[in-house]
Amino acid sequence: MKTMRAMSVKQPWATWIATGQKTVEMRSWKTDYRGPILICASSQRDMDFEKLDQEQFPLGCAVCVVNLTDVSPMTAAMADAAMPFEDNSGLKDEDFCGYGWTLAEPKVAVPPFPVKGKLHFYDVEIPEGTEFIPSEDYFIFDDDDK
């Protein structure tokens, strides 16, 4: 069985990473690691989003694999990529602390499989039969959605 480096992200952020709509993840810590990361939806959703459809935004499972391409201090210029669907127009660099992790090439885990999340990086065994399908081949978007 293959093992992959993973990290937990709360919903809806994990699904938005899988769709390619969120391309920067904000973290308080940096890493020298670059390469594939399995994005796992936490068992708890972001409390700012109380009423999420559990089918569309599953909890406690692997959602996708992305390629971590860069880690740099978080800036206002990265806000739209980190917080899609929010009004970020008034933000300044000094509003941020921590790091922006640039994520690319999302591939959706099919089928999603249960994962018990942890803090920081952790290793996850990928079940036999799991496929990773490029986001653009998996999701159907209206032109306004992406």
| Whole-number Å distance between alpha carbons of 60 and 56 | 13
Largest CA-CA distance found in the chain, in angstroms, rounded: 47
Q: What is the pLDDT of residues 133-145, one digit of tens each?
A: 999 999 876 655 5
Q: What is the pLDDT of residues 99-115, one digit of tens each?
A: 999 999 999 999 999 99
| Whole-number Å distance between alpha carbons of 22 and 13 | 7
pTM of the full structure: 0.91
| Whole-number Å distance between alpha carbons of 39 and 66 | 7
What letter would DSSP give residue 56?
A: T
